Structure 1
Amino acid sequence: MSVLSAALPDFPWDLLEPAKARAAAHPDGIVDLSVGTPVDPVPPVIRQALADASDAPGYPLTAGTPALRAAIAGWMARAGNATGELGVLPTIGSKEMVAWLPTLLGVGAGDKVVIPLVCYPTYEVGVRLAGATAVRSDSLTAVGPDSRVRMIWINSPSNPTGKVLPVEHLRKVVSWARERGVIVVSDECYLSLGWEKQPVSVLDDEVTGGDYTGVLAVHSLSKRSNLAGYRAGFVGGDPALVRELLAVRKHAGMIVPAPVQAAMIAALGDEDHVTAQRARYSARRDQLRAALTGAGFEISHSEAGLYLWSTRGEDSWKTVDWLADRGILAAPGAFYGPAAEQHVRIALTATDERVAAAVARLA
């Protein structure tokens, strides 16, 4: 029997357990800044929508209700400046879409998928699940005229670096891909969290001109709306590609629960809670950034998103241990690719009290 898991790397956070135990031994407890999991409450307007839709005995629609599809398209037009005719589809969070998208689009053995040089580990996992080969590159010139490239992942704002890709770069990627019949997929889960630069969607009219052929954008409500526990995400873009995804997902039972679909409508229709959450993250970011630089760290990129991409100019695991001795847990850059081995990712997703504790310890 061929064991699929054997083709996958070790689950990164399992490797972090020794450092986590070390940090947890601190007299004042651990400050876990290793994972970007929200800690603030789910906004009341969303919780109420979920409760109101909880009497849902029938099967939900894989395509999403008409109201949800309209809410997704409307939000992408407002937030992403995507004013053309979009195909949209709700997903069970965004991680499952990242992991299964190459497979769902028919990528397989002998094919190649380009992923960022430094990136979220699940891009590579998804490529391996499909039986294809991942190519790490931020330069399409370096990829060359390889006919085996079927798909390109881009991520802006980046996890883990917080780097924002400008319109000109996005336009070049889309143009390059269209000349070769390659699909472009942009992970935009942090689009609402720009700090020093304003993130731009790959579906923006300035990038595509309203023509979404061969282009998809993946989004999540986990970060902007504190809905990681709801598993609420969506994809939008090329209507033909979205129809293909829907056709396969209907067979596979990849369906967002009906109450969650109702909660998503509420979340996409309300920006007040997003503004409030941004203010919380901004305050935590300012405090952590000042504390880290005061402790001798250099912050790279980190123009947007929920992380401070930080370095002491040493192996990332050594920095993880240095922080763990102070009761702080961070994610080593080694999780995100060979080019990231001297950085650590510091998340902003901790309570104000725990952030204050980290600041005091760094001082």
Structure 2
Amino acid sequence: MNARSSALPDFPWDLLEPAKAIAAAHADGIVDLSVGTPVDSVPQVIRQALADASDAPGYPLTAGTPQLRAAIAGWLARECRASGELGVLPTIGSKELVAWLPTLLGVGPGDVVVIPAVCYPTYEVGARLAGAEVIRSDSLTALGPDRRVKLIWINSPSNPTGRVLPVEHLRKVVSWARERGVIVVSDECYVSLGWESTPVSVLDDQVTGGDYTGVLAVHSLSKRSNLAGYRAGFLGGDPALVREVLAVRKHAGMIVPAPVQAAMVAALGDETHVAEQRARYAARRDTLRSALVKSGFDISHSEAGLYLWATRNEDCWATVDRLAKRGILAAPGAFYGPAAQRHVRIALTATDERVAAAADRLAEPFAD
């Protein structure tokens, strides 16, 4: 093991294998609610676009085709209410972008990357890959006058908590960062899945007024369009920063395949399939939320996104074990930071049949 890999944390889902084995032994099979991977079909309009573009013998453009760049910019203008001149860039899903973005932006040893106190593990991984120090904080004032801060991650709607950051908070973060020359990156992969709150993009005119200096937003088609298998994501925001990222990605060969680029154009141009998928998730959410509450769980935040952030006010691994004995696999809060040790994350990404099975099993009394 080299120094770089030894500096990384254990891959979280490897630690879940014992619980997964217990859940898989259930007589009616496992209900895996631990990972937010889509289970519904890729919409036909997207599959057709992929097939039509499959004769692609040449190298694709790292920057994306003109059609894709226009589709991304148009979608950000419509759905994120961004009226300014945007830099845009397709990426190979969003996880690789999150993991490599600090490095691509020149963050390195001696620098600090700020991540939310409870958050997606890859923010920390990306900072460590760059050799930077990581600070977990939801409070800007707690950071003090630390001039080493180079990049701050925000995530709304949050994975795992489903919390939505209000416009006032987003404006405050952007203002704080600009005063200090810090880059703000907002992970907005769940922005299309607001339930009890309407998520606002950091690119929204209410936040930036069309000035994206020092601001980037990360988006994904994995959840809204069931394209996790296509690895289809994109970046939008400060044109200068996007050009900087593009320049490095050209050298590194980080290119979205041409057929996937065509599929992304189709996905971004059609909101009908998004509404249909939202309706599926809404029904599954209602079923799971009701079953969890009836069985003694409290639901925290969870006003948007693809998860329910649930607690029995006990150590998260104890809750994982209780659920595993009923054939239900959940993600322990410990995966998302020390402040999340008493919660579990319940994904909405299971078939209707499996969600109904989970609800039936949750109706069984929990033994102490």
Name the TM-score class by shorter chain.
over 0.9
Aligned to 1:228: 228
- Please give the root-mean-square deviation of Cα atoms over the aligned residues, in Å: 0.6
| Alignment partner of 1:275 is 2:275 | yes
Paired AA for residue 105 in structure 2:
L
Partner Cα distance (2:103, 2:159) in 1: 22
Partner Cα distance (2:338, 2:292) in 1: 23
| Alignment partner of 1:219 is 2:219 | yes
Residues 1-363 of structure 1: pairs in structure 2 closer than 5 A: 2-363=2-363
Partner Cα distance (1:55, 1:3) in 2: 42
Partner Cα distance (1:338, 1:262) in 2: 41
Paired AA for residue 98 in structure 2:
V
Paired AA for residue 276 in structure 2:
A
Cα deviation per residue 1:234-279 (whole Å; 9 max; x = unaligned)? Answer: 0000000000000000000000000000000000000000000000
Cα deviation per residue 1:94-147 (whole Å; 9 max; x = unaligned)? Answer: 000000000000000000000000000000000000000110000000011100
Paired AA for residue 104 in structure 2:
L
Partner Cα distance (1:102, 1:71) in 2: 26
Partner Cα distance (2:238, 2:327) in 1: 46
TM superposition outliers: structure 1 runs of 4+ over 2 Å: none
Aligned to 2:366: none
Task: Give the CA deviation at 1:349.
Answer: 0.1
Could you tell me the TM-score, scaled by structure 1's length?
1.00
Partner Cα distance (2:78, 2:142) in 1: 35
Paired AA for residue 315 in structure 2:
D
Task: Give the CA deviation at 1:3.
Answer: 3.2
Q: List gaps (5 residues or longer) in structure 2.
A: 364-368
Partner Cα distance (1:79, 1:19) in 2: 39
Report the secondary structure of 1:16's partner residue. helix
Report the secondary structure of 2:217's partner residue. strand
Cα deviation per residue 1:58-117 (whole Å; 9 max; x = unaligned)? Answer: 000000000000000000001100010000000000000000000000000000000000
Report the secondary structure of 2:265's partner residue. helix
Partner Cα distance (2:324, 2:197) in 1: 31
Paired AA for residue 324 in structure 1:
A
Paired AA for residue 82 in structure 2:
A
Cα deviation per residue 1:181-218 (whole Å; 9 max; x = unaligned)? Answer: 00000000000000000000000001001000000000
Partner Cα distance (1:128, 1:151) in 2: 13
Partner Cα distance (1:259, 1:3) in 2: 37
Partner Cα distance (1:157, 1:335) in 2: 18
Paired AA for residue 4 in structure 1:
R
Cα deviation per residue 1:159-196 (whole Å; 9 max; x = unaligned)? Answer: 00000000000000000000000000000000000000
Partner Cα distance (1:147, 1:65) in 2: 39
Q: List gaps (5 residues or longer) in structure 1.
A: none
Partner Cα distance (1:79, 1:186) in 2: 15
Paired AA for residue 316 in structure 2:
S
Partner Cα distance (1:2, 1:13) in 2: 22
Partner Cα distance (2:229, 2:214) in 1: 31
State the aligned residue count: 363
Task: Give the CA deviation at 1:4.
Answer: 1.5
Percent identical? 85
Partner Cα distance (1:5, 1:224) in 2: 32
Paired AA for residue 176 in structure 1:
W
Partner Cα distance (1:143, 1:304) in 2: 28
Partner Cα distance (2:279, 2:144) in 1: 43
Could you tell me the TM-score, scaled by structure 2's length?
0.98
Cα deviation per residue 1:270-299 (whole Å; 9 max; x = unaligned)? Answer: 000000000000000000000000000000
Report the secondary structure of 1:284's partner residue. helix
